[in-house]
Amino acid sequence: MNYIFDPELQEFYNEYGKPGRIGLIHFDFKPALLINWGQKKLTRDGKPSRVTHAFLFIESWDGVPWIAESDVNLPLPGFHNRIDGPQVNSSRKWSTTIIDDAVIVDPVLSEEQYRQVREHIDFLLGQNLKYGLIALAGTWFAIRKQDLTHRSILHRDSRMHCSQFVRECLRAAGVDPWGNRIASYNLTPEAIYQEYPAIAEWTRRK
């Protein structure tokens, strides 16, 4: 299936994707269903999560918001990501018909906190970290154990998945509502979705 640019979704990001806010999305892509299914013990209704991936909005360039994220370089249909791990991209990357749900939440950062977040993004970009794809299985095991402080042998300090990236950037600004309840490497998009108020939500019309 070919996925194409979606101007309606881009306009959603343009309107609500302010610096310091967090984007949460769901892919119309079968492997993403595993991530949603793996989070179902964390959802309020016990159903698979509606969010798969998390990223931070930063400044706008070229008339659109840009984002900071940690992403895997597996090829999605119609899109080939050339970078593995922490990276900065135009929000156009996620403005395609592969996305069927998008939510923007707001941790309400001050100007100083956002500056600290932005500095930590730059720091992480220089650390040669990779995306922790295999480590997601370790997080799934921690969810099954109902112990989100559990560190699996699959977790590696040199690996960082999307929600962990977002959390570490927030922690650099002194913002960490999960505290000791959830280890950084076990944070999920669903945990972010539940923690912060949604500024706006978008769902593809069927």
Residue 91 CA to residue 89 CA, distance in Å, equals 6
Helix (H, G, I), strand (E, B) or coil at 153: coil
> What is the C-alpha to C-alpha distance for residues 1 and 21, in angstroms, rounded to an integer?
31
Query: What is the structure's pLDDT at 79?
Result: 58
Q: In whole angstroms, give the CA distance from residue 162 to residue 149.
A: 18
Backbone torsions φ then ψ of 5, nearest 5 degrees: -60, 140
Q: Phi and psi (nearest 5°) for 118?
A: -65, -40
Q: Please choose, from the candidates 104, 103, 105, the residue with its C-alpha nearest in 3D space to the C-alpha of residue 203.
A: 103
Task: Report the candidate in 24, 162, 163 with the shortest Cα–Cα distance to residue 87.
Answer: 162
Domain ranges of the chain: 7-203
Residue 157's nearest CA partner among 124, 192, 191 is 124
pLDDT of residue 74: 66
Instruction: For the chain, 206 residues long, give each residue's pLDDT as a single digit of tens.
Output: 567 999 999 999 999 999 999 999 998 776 666 677 777 777 788 887 889 999 999 999 989 999 999 998 766 655 566 789 999 999 999 999 989 999 999 999 999 999 999 999 999 999 999 998 788 888 888 888 888 889 888 788 989 999 999 999 999 999 999 999 999 999 999 999 999 999 999 999 87
Tokens of 94: 């996620």
What pLDDT does residue 138 have? 81
Nearest of 58, 1, 49 to residue 25 by alpha carbon? 49
Contact 69, 87 (CB under 8 A): yes
Which pLDDT does position 130 carry in this prediction? Answer: 93
Q: Which residues pair with 198 in a beta bridge?
A: 105
Rounded to whole angstroms, how far apart are CA atoms 182 and 198? 21
pTM of the predicted model as reported, rounded to 2 decimal places: 0.92
Question: What is the DSSP pairing of strand 53-61 with strand 198-203?
Answer: unpaired
What is the spatial distance between Cα 152 and Cα 159, in angstroms, rounded to a whole number?
13
CATH of 7-203, one of 1.10.357.10, 3.90.1720.10, 3.40.50.12660, 1.20.1740.10: 3.90.1720.10
Beta-strand relationship, 99-105 and 22-27: antiparallel
pLDDT confidence of residue 145:
82
